[in-house]
Chains A and B, each alone.
Chain A
Amino acid sequence: MHILQTQDLKKYYGAGDTQVKALDGVDLAVEQGEFVAIVGTSGSGKSTLLHMLGGLDRPTSGRVTVDGQEIFSLGEEALTIFRRRKIGFVFQAYNLVPVLSVRENIVLPIQLDGRAVDEAFVREVVATLGLEKKLQSLPSQLSGGQQQRVAIARALAAKPAILLADEPTGNLDSKTSQDVLGLMKVTGQKFGQTMVMITHNEEIAQMADRIVRIEDGRIVTR
């Protein structure tokens, strides 16, 4: 069974002469536990695709099914709730809540959902990512690599069906990039986590189980 599937996904901006086809009929399927890298140049539509996969933006047409749920059939409120339960995000800009501590950031999606935090699991994730000593720090007190590890921990802590990463190493130097990505892959394998990552960096992409290339809104290689 595919944990993530898209069918003829389209996203057009504007109309007429100035119309931009950011996504033009994307069909993609990801298996449970798979680590997929989506690569493409700037403007190829890879970020748009990730936003669609995560339900952050609505497509012009087409379907996205996550864990058996057609996500755009959900209302705004329901989609948000679905998202925080099933999808974890890691962004290039980390997107940590600056006013909350590391630990608070990690458990925030779970708490927003009103669920009990699985302390043992969170401890394990934190330990795997090497953040034990930083739990009480604020994001601003951490280095970029540390911040991204916190973001990964946050994404994993809610035990999502899939983890979506948007240029997770885009703001990091190459050494740190390798470290973070290595950690991400290890953690993903350890927890059987399905992961979809966007990058323009071929070297980084090589670490994935499978590489999907996207150009002008279409998938060119599977």
Chain B
Amino acid sequence: MNISNRGCIRRLSVRALLASRTRNVVAVLAIALTALLFTSLFTIALSINEGMQQNNFRQAGGFAHGSFKYLTEEEFDQLKEHPLIEAWGLRRFLGMPTGAPFHKSHVEVGYSDSSEAHWTYCDPVEGRLPAEGTQEAATDTHVLELLGITPALGAEFTLTFEVDGRETTQTFTLCGWWEYDEAVVANHVLIPESRVDAILAEVGVTPPGRDGMTGSWNLDVMLEHGARSISADLDEILADYGCQTQDPAAPGYIATGVNWGYTGAQLSDRLDPSVVLVIGVMLALILFTGYLIIYNVFQISVAGDIRFYGLLKTIGTTPRQIRRIIRIQALILSAAGIPAGLALGWLVGGVLTPFITAQLNDVTPTVSVSPVLFGASALFALGTVLISCRRPGRLAGRVSPVEAVRYTEGGAPRRRISRKGKGVSLFSMAWANLGRSRGKTAITVLSLCLAVVLLTLTVTFAAGFDMDKYTAHFTATDFILADAGKLQVGSVGFNRGMAVTEETIAAVNAQGGITESARVYGQTKGMNEFIPEERFIANNSQWYSEESLKWLMDHTQRSEAGLLADGVQLCGMEPFALDHLTVLEGDLEKLKEPGGNWIAAVYQEDDYGAPVWESNWAKLGDTVTIRYIEEFEYWDNATGEIIPIDQVGAAYEAGRSITSYAKTYRDVDYTVAALVTVPTALSYRYYGDDSFILNDQTFIRDSGTADVMYYAFDTTDEANAGMESFLKDYTENVNPQLDYESKATFAGEFASIRGMFLLLGGALSFIVGLVGVLNFANAILTGITARRRELAVLQSIGMTARQLRAMLALEGLLYTAGAVALALGLILISAPFLGPALNRMIWFFSYHFTLWPVGVVLPLFAVLGVGIPVLTSWAAQRTPVVERLRQE
């Protein structure tokens, strides 16, 4: 194509565009709305994602890419110079206070340089980081609160903490503090490096101390390559200095850490095909909605301008040039619409996101402003525009010049409609008007219908969240009382010191209102089960290398039958707790028999409640031998000598390899009466060993212990609130070592998750609904303006303005009726597939069929369907009929 005609085509395009302002407004609005749809969605999605990552960083304790741990000063000085390291930070851990008031908190005393402090969220809001050679310290408001100190610069405070097992008490001057952040697991007390060295000297610890970390140099790094290949980069850095991080036993070993906050693996783990499908369908639906509206606008405007294109063709404009005219118009309209949509979308997303993230416990509120977001949205919107104007462009290019002059939308009806002498009614005219442009009608109806379907989906989704299923997953009974450590950090084992005392239980019971209750006894002494080698390997292979597993098996006690001893999780439950078990096979009643030797084998369940059959070996009727160990014997693996019990501690410290064996013990055989799953709340809350349950009496009889791990109970509805406040006070003030969980806690959590989905889905439905309504308005508006002459003809031959409006209103109502009918059809057809898919997708979901959103939307659409045409024709009436008749 010649260059010289470009300008001419462009001029034509621009002039024609400027000539139809109303259509431009509609088109720009449509494009802006599409861009808004994309941007707000991307903003919300990316913000949540970024928020999750931020939260991961906070939980991980910082946002450095990776770290080299427990270095000597020389190693540190060497490694930090590596060219792959873009920035580095130094951390030297000194010690931790563990006694009250810090027993429920994780507080670390140590030195961080300024980079490290920033990377670990220690940015003083008041004051500054401690200066070298001073007694200064900086910390967060939580630590200060625990110490009972009002944050004031220059305040002195004393802290008792353990440095490599040795207690020391030190006094510091507060030089700065920052706000406590709940999500950050560790609280820091930062002191100068000089003070770290001084305290180490004072208590006589040489880094890295016996624990291998105290006072050592930790190098946290930001990598040149960013987060793409953290692990490989760390390896490469080590390799360049002849070190390695694979084998702790081999020379040159340096421990490394990769910040898991950066790894995308977590999300991809959760993306099973059905979730991907649902997300994909949603995305397609949204894209399609955007396409529909823009396509409709262009289709209608081309139809309106068809004479113009015919005229252009008669004077020699080629189809390709006509397509270019339309494309240029599309681009100009996009240039106006897309930036507006991007800005609006970002605002909408920005306003909504904080609301949404505020509902999510695991997300840090952030509004993503990544340029990728705008780029992608703009590209999506532009792509939609270009695709949408292709077909109208072809239509305009193909139209024969002669026909163009005679063109009316949709052309002649394909078959004659027999009216059987009834004459022409307004309804039949309205019906025929819709029928003559089936494509446009279909698209308008479809886009309206999509809005209805999406709204119904959202409501179904949010309404299907099942609170009972959700809370049941976390808590079995109204209340559970246990050691704070057990409840807060699930992976903590149970020991005698953590037992809930009978005095406490009595105090709780004294509150009254308890309907049923049960003690769950935990194991506080050595116990073993005996299993075949294959099972032993299966249980332990994930913790040990092949070589050390072989060594372990050689050093593990065997039963007479040759079975290997392995750890076991055993607990004893009172009947009310037993009632909360889910029986997979067998009968729990036997287990309740006093004095019986029955046992229940515990199977894990996945998030959807399906038992994991590999999680235990015992089947119904199997014999399980439990060894109750009274006394252990300790052997030095190297020499084979037996170490007296009082010297074991020293031997461990000296770094000797020691194995423990049961010296005196009792073996008891039980028969498996039932295979069960245990509610997480009543289980040990960590995996590892095979798990079994006895009844309370048998447990106490055979283990000789009666340490209550959980006290679980239900209360009457009336007593609920009273019990809640009693426990809150009791666990905070009377016995702070304890903590409790209640159904109410989880119900609140549930409400916030549900609220988040409602908000997100509501926002989505609203935007799509807006697109649908705009599309509808556009179809009617352009339908009326494009038919101005025809409507004038109708009026000139005697149709009253009232009749005209009635006809247009009927057309609007027909669109509405069509959309609702189609939506109903789609919902009814999809319901049988949707239910099971959603139930699978979200474990606390119970699908309920619902149609009320359709009922809500119906009147709204009806009002619009009648209102838009009536208002438009009113506006049109201002021009006299003769004038309108003359218009081309």
What is the interface of chain A, defined by CB distance below 8 A to chain B?
A: 51, 54, 56-57, 76-77, 80-81, 83-85, 89, 91, 95, 97-100, 104, 108-109, 111-116, 154, 158
Nearest CB in chain A to that of B316: its residue: A84
Contact A114 B3 (CB under 8 A): yes
* Residues of chain A contacted by B316 (CB below 8 angstroms): 80-81, 83-85, 109, 112-113, 158
Our pick among B8, B16, B308 for the contact of A112 (Cβ within 8 Å) is B8
Indicate if B654 sits at the interface (CB-CB under 8 A). Answer: no
State whether A112 and B15 are in contact (beta carbons under 8 Å apart), knowing that A57-B400, A77-B318, A154-B315 are contacts in the complex.
no
Q: Given contacts A57-B400, A98-B19, A99-B16, are A114 and B5 in contact (CB under 8 A)?
A: yes
Using known A-B contacts A57-B402, A112-B9, determine if residue A99 contacts B315 with beta carbons closer than 8 Å: no
With A95-B314, A112-B315 in contact, do A56 and B400 touch (Cβ < 8 Å)?
yes
Pairs A-B, 10 closest by C-beta atoms? A84-B316, A114-B2, A111-B8, A99-B15, A114-B5, A80-B318, A56-B401, A57-B402, A114-B4, A109-B316
A95 contacts B311, C-beta separation under 8 Å: yes
Known: A100-B12, A100-B15. A116 touches B4 (CB 8 A): yes
CB-defined contacts of B318 to chain A, threshold 8 Å = 77, 80-81, 112
Q: Tell me the nearest residue of chain A to B20, going by C-beta.
A: A99
Answer whether residue B320 sits at the interface, using C-beta atoms and an 8 A cutoff.
yes
Identify which of A81, A89, A100, A114 contacts B314 (C-beta below 8 A). A89
Contacts of A98 in B (CB 8 A): 19
Chain B's nearest CB lies how many Å from the CB of A155?
A: 9
- Chain A, residue nearest B15 (CB): A99
Cross-chain contact A112 with B5 (CB below 8 angstroms): yes
Tell me whether B1 and A114 are in contact (CB under 8 A): yes
- A105 to chain B: closest residue by CB: B315
Distance of A91 Cα from B311 Cα, bound (Å)? 10
A116 to B5, CA, bound (A): 9
Establish whether residues B18 and A99, one from each chain, have CB atoms under 8 Å apart when the complex forms: yes
From the candidates A56, A104, A108, A109, name the one contacting B402 in the complex (CB within 8 A). A56
Residues of B contacting A112 with CB < 8 Å? Answer: 5, 8-9, 315-318, 321
The 0/1 profile, CB within 8 Å of A marked 1, for residues 295-331 of chain B is 0000000000000100111111111110000000000
Whether the Cβ atoms of B15 and A51 lie closer than 8 Å is no
Mark B149-169 against chain A: 1 for CB-CB distance below 8 A, else 0.
Answer: 000000000000000000000
B11 near A: Cβ within 8 Å? yes
| Cα(A57)–Cα(B404), bound, Å | 11
Q: How far is the CA of A57 from the CA of B403 in the complex (A)?
A: 9
In the complex, chain B residues whose CB is within 8 Å of the CB of A91: 314
B residues apposed to A, CB below 8 Å: 1-5, 7-9, 11-12, 15-16, 18-19, 308, 311-321, 398, 400-402
- Alpha-carbon distance between A104 and B3 when the two chains are bound, in angstroms: 18
Given known contacts A95-B311, A97-B312, A98-B19, A80 and B319 CB-to-CB distance under 8 angstroms: yes
CA distance A85 to B135 in the complex (A): 94
Task: Tell me what chain B mostly uses at the interface: helix, strand, loop, or mixed.
Answer: helix
CB distance from B405 to the nearest CB of A (A): 8
Pick the most buried of A76, A100, A111: most chain B CB atoms within 10 A of its CB. Answer: A111
Given A95-B314, A95-B315, A97-B308, 13 extra CB contacts under 8 A: A56-B314, A56-B402, A77-B318, A80-B319, A84-B315, A91-B314, A97-B311, A99-B15, A100-B15, A112-B5, A112-B315, A116-B4, A158-B316
Asked whether, in the complex, the Cβ of B12 is within 8 Å of the Cβ of A97, the reply is yes
A50 CA / B11 CA spacing, docked (Å): 30
- 12 contacting pairs across A/B (C-beta < 8 A): A56-B400, A76-B319, A77-B318, A77-B320, A80-B319, A85-B316, A97-B12, A100-B12, A111-B4, A111-B7, A112-B316, A112-B318
Q: Which residue of B lies closest to A98 (CB)?
A: B19
CA distance A169 to B317 in the complex (A): 25
CB distance from A92 to the nearest CB of B (A): 11
Which A residues are in CB contact (< 8 Å) with B308?
Answer: 97
Residues of B within 8 A of A56 (CB): 314, 400-402
Interfacial chain A residues near B9, Cβ < 8 Å: 112
With a cutoff of 8 Å between Cβ atoms, the chain B residues found around residue A51 in the complex are: 402
Nearest A residue to B18, CB-CB:
A99
Chain B residues positioned under 8 Å from A104 (CB to CB)? 11
Contact yes or no, B19 A99, CB < 8 A: yes
A114 to B: closest C-beta gap in Å: 3
- Among A57, A108, A115, the residue within 8 A (CB) of B315 is A108
Contact A108 B401 (CB under 8 A): no
**With a CB–CB cut-off of 8 A, which chain B residues contact A54?**
314
Q: What's the least CB distance linking B150 to chain A, in Å?
A: 75
Chain B residue numbers with a CB within 8 Å of A81 are 316, 318
Residues on B with beta carbons closer than 8 Å to the beta carbon of A89: 314-315
In whole angstroms, what is the CA distance A81 to B5 when docked?
Answer: 13
Distance between Cα atoms of A56 and B314 in the complex (Å): 7
* B322 smallest CB distance to A (angstroms): 9
Query: What is the CB-to-nearest-CB distance from A85 to chain B, in angstroms, rounded to a whole number?
Result: 8
Q: Tell me if A108 and B8 are in contact (CB < 8 A).
A: yes
> When the two chains form their complex, are residues B401 and A109 in contact, meaning their CB atoms are under 8 A apart?
no
A81 to B401, CA, bound (A): 14
The docked-state distance in angstroms from the alpha carbon of A111 to that of B4 is 7
Contact status A80-B15, CB under 8 Å? no
- The smallest beta-carbon distance between B19 and chain A, in angstroms, is 5
Which of chain B's residues have a CB closer than 8 A to the CB of A100? 11-12, 15
How far is it, in angstroms, between the C-alpha of A76 and the C-alpha of B2 when the chains are bound?
A: 19
Complexed CA–CA distance, A55 and B610 (Å):
74
* Neighbouring A residues of B315 by C-beta, 8 Å: 84, 89, 95, 108-109, 112, 154
Question: Which of chain B's residues has its CB closest to A77's CB?
Answer: B318
Residue of B nearest to A54 (CB): B314
B626 to chain A, nearest CB (A): 89
The residues of A that contact B313 with a CB separation of less than 8 Å are 80
Report the separation of the CA atoms of residues A141 and B790 in the bound assembly, to the nearest whole angstrom: 26
In the assembled complex, the Cα of A108 lies from the Cα of B321 at a distance in Å of 13
Which residues of B sit under 8 angstroms from A95, Cβ to Cβ?
311, 314-315
The residues of A that contact B12 with a CB separation of less than 8 Å are: 97, 99-100, 108
**When A57-B402, A98-B19 are in contact, do A111 and B5 touch as well, CB less than 8 Å?**
yes
Complex-state Cα separation, A158 to B317, whole angstroms: 13
Residue of B nearest to A89 (CB): B314
Residues of A within 8 A of B18 (CB): 99
Kindly state the separation between the CA atoms of A167 and B319 in the bound complex, as whole angstroms. 27
Listed residue (B5, B312, B316) with the most chain A CB atoms within 10 angstroms of its CB: B316
Residue of B nearest to A88 (CB): B315
How far does the Cβ of A81 sit from chain B's closest Cβ, in whole Å? 6
B8, B16, B315 pick with most chain A CB within 10 angstroms? B315
Point out which of B1, B317, B319 has the most chain A C-beta atoms below 10 A from its C-beta: B317
A89 to B2, CA, bound (A): 24
* Distance to closest chain A CB from B732 (angstroms): 78
Docked complex Cα distance between A116 and B8 (Å): 12
Query: Would you give the shortest CB distance from A166 to chain B, in whole angstroms?
Result: 10
CB neighbours of A114 from chain B (8 A): 1-5
For residue A109, which residues in chain B have a CB less than 8 angstroms away from its CB?
315-316
Residue of B nearest to A55 (CB): B401
Which residues of chain B have C-beta atoms less than 8 A from A57's C-beta?
Answer: 400-402
**What CA separation (Å) do A80 and B19 show in the bound complex?**
25
A113 partner residues in chain B, CB cutoff 8 A: 2, 5, 316
Chain B residue contacts of A116, Cβ below 8 A? 4
Kindly provide the distance from the CB of B17 to the nearest chain A CB, expressed in whole angstroms: 9
Give Cα A104 to B7, complex, Å. Answer: 12
A76 to B400, CA, bound (A): 10
CA distance A41 to B316 in the complex (A): 29
Residues of A within 8 A of B401 (CB): 56-57
- Specify which chain B residues have a CB less than 8 angstroms from the CB of A99 in the assembled complex: 12, 15-16, 18-19
A83 partner residues in chain B, CB cutoff 8 A: 314, 316
Chain A residue with the shortest CB-CB distance to B398: A76
Known contacts A100-B12, A113-B5; A77/B317 CB under 8 A: no
Q: Which of B9, B12, B308, B314 has the most CB of A within 10 A?
A: B314
Return chain B residues, CB-CB under 8 Å to A80.
313, 316-319
A65 to B625, CA, bound (A): 106
A80 to B5, CA, bound (A): 15
Closest chain B residue to A101 by CB distance? Answer: B15
